[in-house]
Structure 1
Amino acid sequence: MDWQLPQAYSHRLTSFAHWLRRHLPNRCLLCRQDIRQFDSGKPQTGICHHCLVAGLYQHEVCLGCGKRMEQLQAYCGHCLQHKPMMVIAPCSYHHSLGELVSGIKYQQQCAPLTALVNVLAVRVMDLVARGVITLPQVIVPVPLHKNRLQQRGFNQAWLIADELSRQLGIPMDDSLLVRSIDTQAQAGLDGQARRRNCADAFNTTKAIPYQRVALIDDVVTTGTTVNEIGKLFAADYVHVQAWCLARAEAPGLL
C-alpha cells in the first residue's frame, strides 16, 4: 500500500520550506554578500543579481564555435561553411559563473541552479524572438551511465532539464536516450581522446517521435558528447540544438 502525507500536512511542510528560504542566511556564493530578493514568491538563492548579470555574455557569440561577434547572427564566417550544431548558453565557463556550474556537478551545490537555468531560458527566448533559433518540441537531458549515476547520486543534466521544462513549458523526455558504455570522465582529456571516449557510448531506446530536439547538459566544451548524440538524431533527420548553463570556448576565441 502506498503511503502519502495528508494534504494539509504536506501544505504545512511546503510553507515551512518557503519560510526557511526567506529567513535563513542567504549569501551569494561568489561575492559572499546577502542576496537581495526581488520576488518574494520565488526567492533567489546561491547567487546575487549583480554577480549573475556580470557573469553573462556582454557581447554576441557564434552559436557554432563561441567566437565573439559584433552583431547577432547564428554563425561566424568560418562556421557558416559547415554549420555545426548550435550551442545555446548564457555565459562562458571560463568566467565567474563557471565556478557555480562546476559546483553543481562536483560539490552538489545546487543553490544557484534555478537562477542559472533562468538566464539560460531568457537567452533561449531572446534568440527565438529575434528569429535566430526555433523552439524544440522536447528537451532531452544527456544521460549518465547507471554506474556513474549511482556513484554521484544525481544527473545534473536531468536537474537542469527538469527546471528548464517548468520554466519554458517544453516537455522533457528522459527515456529517449541511454548511456550504454560507462566511459571515462571527459575532464582532462584532449579533443581526440574525448572523441574516442564517447564513440558509440549512447543509444536511443525507441523510434524518435520528434523533429526538433534540444539536448541539455551543464557545460559544452569541445562538443564531443552532444555531437555523438547528434549523430543518432541526424540518422532520422531530426534537428538538434545543445542547451547548457555555460560554454567552455576554445583558447583564443574570447
Structure 2
Amino acid sequence: MAAVAANLPNRCLLCQQDIIQYSAAKPHTGVCQTCLVAGLYQQEVCLGCGKSMPLLQVYCGHCQHIEPMLVIAPCSYHQGLGELIAGIKYQQQCAPLAALVQVLAVRGMDLAARGLIQLPQVLIPVPLHRNRLKQRGFNQAWLIAKELSAQIGIPMDDSLLVRCVDTKAQAGLNGKQRRLNCADAFTLQRDNPYQRVALIDDVVTTGTTVNEISRLFAAHYTHVQTWCLARAEAPGLL
C-alpha cells in the first residue's frame, strides 16, 4: 500500500502543480509551498477580532477595552486557503491537513515566543454531537487537534468536553440565531483540572461556539484560547 501511495500523483489542490518535496522524512501533500505561503496573513492582525494592524500586539484599540477571547490562526478563510479547509470538512479531502496544521503550529509558537500568549496545557477539540459524528464519520477538529498535539507536544484531551445537544449547522445563521443555537449545547463530563486550555476547531467565524464553551471553563477560572486553521473575519476588517 505504501509503495502504491508513493507512486500516486502529488499535486497541489489549488494550483494543480506538482508539489516539490523539501524533506523526505515528512512528505508535503495537498498544497504546495507557494500557495500555502500566499494564503497566510500578510500583515499583523488583532488576536481578538482579526482586524489588520500596523504593528504586532495582542489587541486592536477597540478590543483592548473588551478583551475578547484570543483566536490563534495563521490565515483568513477568505484569502486563499478556505477552499482547502472546506474540503477537509465537507469532502473528506485531508491531504493538506498536516501542512495547514504546521502553519498554525508555527503561528502559535511564534506568538508565545514573542510573549503575546501563554501556551495552553492541553488541546481540546470542539466536539460533534454523536448523531452528527455518525453522519459525517469524523470530526475535523479532532483530526486537527491530534496532528497539532503531535507537532508541538501539547497533549490532547477529547474526553472532558462533550456536545450534549444536536444543534443545527451554524452556516447560514445570523449572530442571534447562532447564539440561540449553541446555548447550553456543551457540558463538561468531569472536574476540570486545567488552568489554560486551547479549543481547537477548523474555522472561527462569529466565535459563538467557542464563546459558549468558554463560559463553561470560566466557571472554573480557566483561561481559554482558540486555535484554528483559519478565521472568517467580518467584512472589511482585512
Report the TM-score, using the length of structure 1 for normalisation. 0.93
Instruction: Note the alpha carbon deviations across 1:19-74, whole angstroms, 9 max, x for none.
Output: 44433210000000000000011101000000000000010000000000000000
2:200 is matched with 216
Larger radius of gyration: 1
Question: What amino acid does structure 2 have at the position aligned with 1:112?
Answer: P
What CA distance in whole angstroms lies between the structure 1 residues aligned with 2:83 and 2:8? 23
The aligned residue for residue 141 of structure 1 is 125
Equivalent of residue 73 in structure 2, options 79, 83, 89 = 89
Is contact 1:138-1:172 (8 Å) kept?
A: yes
> Is the 8 Å Cα contact of residues 46 and 111 (structure 1) preserved in structure 2?
yes
Partner of residue 184 from structure 2, selected from 200, 205, 223 = 200
Q: Which of 179, 202, 223 does residue 163 from structure 2 map onto?
A: 179
**DSSP-derived class of the 1:209 partner:** coil
Distance 2:4 2:214 in 1: 42
Of the three residues 112, 116, 128, the one matched with 1:132 is: 116
**Cα-to-partner distance string for 1:155-188 (whole Å, 9 max, x where unaligned):** 0000000000000000000001000000000001
For this pair of structures, how many residues does the alignment match? 238
Distance in 1 of aligned mates of 2:8 and 2:20 = 13
TM-score when normalising by structure 2: 0.99
Corresponding residue of 2:30: 46
Aligned to 1:62: 46
Tell me, in whole angstroms, the C-alpha distance in 1 between the residues paired with 2:204 and 2:21. 30
Q: Determine helix, strand or coil for the equivalent of 2:146.
A: helix
Could you tell me which amino acid in structure 2 is paired with residue 164 of structure 1? L
1:99 is aligned to 2:83:
yes
Match of 1:157 among 141, 147, 151: 141
Amino acid at match of 1:68: S
Q: Partners in 2 of 1:21 and 1:69 — Cα distance?
A: 43
In structure 2, C-alpha distance between the alignment counterparts of 1:76 and 1:21, rounded to whole Å: 46
* Secondary structure of the corresponding residue to residue 161 of structure 1: helix
Residue 190 of structure 1, aligned match among 159, 174, 193: 174
**Partners of 2:178 and 2:107 in 1: how far apart?**
28
Quick one: percent identity of the two aligned structures?
74
Hey, which bits of structure 1, 4+ residues long, moved more than 6 A?
A: none
The one-letter code matched in structure 2 to 1:172 is: M
For residues 4 and 51 of structure 2, the distance between their equivalents in structure 1, rounded to whole angstroms, comes to 42
Contact 1:22 1:43 in 2 (8 A): no
State how far apart, in whole Å, the 2-side matches of 1:25 and 1:225 are: 38
The alignment yields a C-alpha RMSD, in angstroms, of: 0.7
Quote the residue 1:239 is aligned against. 223
Partner of 1:168: 152
